[in-house]
């Protein structure tokens, strides 16, 4: 009973960590929205100066009506997600003000204000600039996300890709026709795969560890990176339990993952060990694949 409870708890944590990536993405979109809205606050502050200039009294508020952001703010999916995650950047107005003032001082922002292009595609360029050159290069923002999301350093690339895809995919001026970027194209199927891979790997941990130990006898255990061992166990699990995934696809996937998440030498090490384990599994007829050609490399 305790083992089953621990497994369910671990599965829950896994799914929560995936949901955190989506929350990170929505929170970043909300930050972009808040920065554009600060245009109005900035205009009020400038007008209330003791000695406002003509420009202070009549500021260019083009960013406030940025088409991409307006469509985002009207998007039902976005509004529902902001509500679900209770996102509110207003809690620290100085935070948004600092970002906005940094933006305001750039030549790119000045060029945007002076550009007569008011198209949806044109509106995206300044948002890309804010995202890539202001937000992602701000240590304060990075710290805020690191404090909120423990896996920021690993997940940030996925979040960046999702934001970039959203900018690309928002093509309609009807807010109901644009879609946020999902965590997966088919989460019902992909979510089940993630759960199954996680559960099978944990349940068969000892068996997979024995397969790895047999092929790493000449290696001191402390010399093998923990991440390498985890990746190899997942690869073995996929080889043995997912009949529709070709062997070559599995091997390549985990070699790619090792490049991103493990040591510089992990790729060749994992490739060598998995190749030997694959031969062992073929010899014992432990790999069952559906369809011709899925088992050969």
Q: What is the pLDDT of residue 131?
A: 97
Q: What is the pLDDT of residue 111?
A: 96
For 218, the token pair is 């000449």
260 pLDDT above the threshold of 90: no
In a shared domain, residues 25 and 160: yes
Instruction: Show which of 110, 142, 169 is a domain's final residue.
Output: 169
Q: What is the pLDDT of residue 25?
A: 98
In a shared domain, residues 154 and 73: yes
In a 13 Å sphere around the CA of 4, the CA atoms on its Cβ side amount to 1
Q: What is the pLDDT of residue 264?
A: 86
Q: Examine residue 180 and state whether it is found in any structural domain, yes or no.
A: no
CA quadruple 104, 108, 114, 116: dihedral, nearest 10? -130
Q: Supply the pTM of this predicted model.
A: 0.86
Q: Examine residue 210 and state whether it is found in any structural domain, yes or no.
A: yes
Q: Examine residue 2 and state whether it is found in any structural domain, yes or no.
A: no
In a shared domain, residues 60 and 164: yes
Q: What is the pLDDT of residue 151?
A: 92
pLDDT single digits (tens) 131-176: 999 999 999 999 999 999 999 998 999 999 999 999 999 999 999 9
pLDDT single digits (tens) 204-243: 999 999 999 999 988 877 778 899 999 999 999 999 999 9
Q: What is the CATH number of the domain that holds 264?
A: 1.10.940.10
In a shared domain, residues 106 and 161: yes
| CA–CA distance, 71 with 123 (Å, rounded to integer) | 11
Instruction: Show which of 112, 142, 169 is a domain's final residue.
Output: 169
93 pLDDT above the threshold of 90: no
Neighbours of 154 (CB within 10 A): 13
Q: What is the pLDDT of residue 292?
A: 54
In a shared domain, residues 154 and 211: no
Q: Examine residue 48 and state whether it is found in any structural domain, yes or no.
A: yes
Q: What is the pLDDT of residue 54?
A: 81
In a shared domain, residues 143 and 269: no
Domain range spanning residue 79?
20-169
Q: What is the pLDDT of residue 224?
A: 86
In a shared domain, residues 45 and 84: yes
Q: Examine residue 81 and state whether it is found in any structural domain, yes or no.
A: yes
In a shared domain, residues 80 and 151: yes
In a shared domain, residues 26 and 95: yes
In a shared domain, residues 24 and 159: yes
Q: What is the pLDDT of residue 254?
A: 95
Tally of domains in the chain: 2
Q: Examine residue 175 and state whether it is found in any structural domain, yes or no.
A: no
Instruction: Show which of 142, 169, 196 is a domain's final residue.
Output: 169
Residues 118-134 as b/e (b if ≥16 CB within 10 A, e otherwise) read eebeebbbbbebbbeeb
Q: What is the mean pLDDT of residues 79-100?
A: 91
183 pLDDT above the threshold of 80: yes
pLDDT single digits (tens) 43-85: 998 888 888 888 878 889 999 999 999 999 999 999 999 999 9
In a shared domain, residues 162 and 29: yes
Q: Examine residue 31 and state whether it is found in any structural domain, yes or no.
A: yes
In a shared domain, residues 165 and 194: no
Q: What is the pLDDT of residue 297?
A: 46
| CA–CA distance, 242 with 195 (Å, rounded to integer) | 13
DSSP per position, 21-66: HHHHHHHHHHHHHHHHHHHHHHHHHHHTSSS--HHHHS---GGGG-
Q: Examine residue 242 and state whether it is found in any structural domain, yes or no.
A: yes
């Amino acid at each position: 009973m305790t083992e089953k409870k621990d497994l369910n708890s671990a599965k829950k944590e896994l799914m929560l960590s995936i949901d955190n990536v989506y929350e990170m993405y929505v929170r970043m979109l909300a930050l972009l929205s808040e920065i554009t809205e600060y245009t109005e606050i900035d205009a009020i502050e400038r007008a209330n100066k003791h000695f406002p200039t003509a420009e202070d009294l009549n500021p260019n508020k083009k960013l406030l009506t940025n088409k991409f952001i307006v469509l985002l703010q009207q998007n039902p999916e976005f509004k529902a997600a902001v509500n679900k995650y209770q996102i509110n950047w207003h809690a620290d107005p100085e935070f948004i003000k600092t970002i906005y003032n940094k933006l305001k001082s750039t030549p790119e922002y000045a060029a945007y204000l002076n550009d007569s292009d008011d198209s949806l595609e044109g509106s995206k360029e300044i948002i890309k600039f804010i995202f890539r050159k202001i937000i992602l290069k701000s240590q304060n923002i990075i710290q805020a996300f690191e404090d909120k999301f423990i896996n920021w350093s690993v997940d940030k690339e996925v979040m960046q890709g999702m934001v970039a895809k959203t900018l690309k995919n928002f093509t309609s001026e009807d807010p109901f026709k644009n879609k946020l970027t999902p965590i997966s194209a088919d989460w019902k199927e992909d979510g089940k795969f993630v759960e199954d891979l996680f559960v099978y790997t944990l349940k068969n941990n000892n068996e997979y560890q024995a397969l790895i130990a047999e092929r790493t006898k000449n290696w001191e255990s402390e010399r093998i990176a923990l991440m390498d061992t985890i990746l190899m166990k997942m690869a073995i699990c996929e080889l043995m339990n997912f009949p529709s995934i070709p062997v070559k696809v599995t091997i390549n996937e985990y070699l790619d993952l090792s490049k991103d998440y493990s040591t510089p030498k992990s790729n060749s090490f994992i490739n060598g060990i998995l190749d030997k384990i694959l031969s062992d599994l073929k010899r014992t007829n432990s790999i069952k694949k559906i369809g011709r050609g899925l088992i050969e490399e």
